[in-house]
Amino acid sequence: MAVLTIARMGNPVLRAVAEPIADPTDPEVARLAADMIETMMDAPGVGLAAPQVAVARRIVVFRVPADRGEGETVATTVLVNPVIEPLDGGTELGWEGCLSIPGLRGLVPRHRRIRYRGIGLDGAPIEREASGFHARVLQHEIDHLDGVLYIDRMDDLTLLAFTDEAHHITDARKG
pLDDT of residue 77: 98
What CATH number is attached to the domain comprising 142? 3.90.45.10
Looking from the CA of 158 toward its CB, the CA atoms found within 13 Å total 3
- 141 in catalytic set: yes
**135 assigned to some structural domain:** yes
| Domain membership flag for residue 16 | yes
Whether the Cβ atoms of residue 51 and residue 14 lie closer than 8 Å to each other = yes
- Domain holding 64, by residue range, is 12-91+114-151
- Yes or no: say if 47 and 60 are a contact pair by the CB < 8 Å rule: yes
The answer to whether position 4 is within a domain reads: no
Contact 107, 93 (CB under 8 A): yes
Residues of the chain with confidence (pLDDT) below 70: 69, 175
Q: What is the DSSP letter of 5?
A: P
User: Residues 38, 72, 141, 165: which is the catalytic one?
Assistant: 141
Alpha carbons 104 and 95: distance in angstroms, whole number: 10
Confidence (pLDDT) at 158: 94
Q: How many domains does the chain have?
A: 1
Q: Cβ distance 141 to 149 under 8 Å?
A: no
Global pTM value? 0.94
Q: What is the reported pLDDT for 69?
A: 60
Q: Is residue 40 part of a domain?
A: yes
What pLDDT does 63 receive?
97
- Residue 28's alpha-carbon distances to 1, 24, 32, 74, 81, in angstroms, are 12, 9, 6, 25, 15
Q: Show the DSSP H helices in the chain as ranges.
A: 27-42, 132-145, 150-153, 166-174
19 within some domain: yes
122, part of any domain: yes
In this structure, is residue 5 part of a structural domain? no
67 falls within a domain: yes
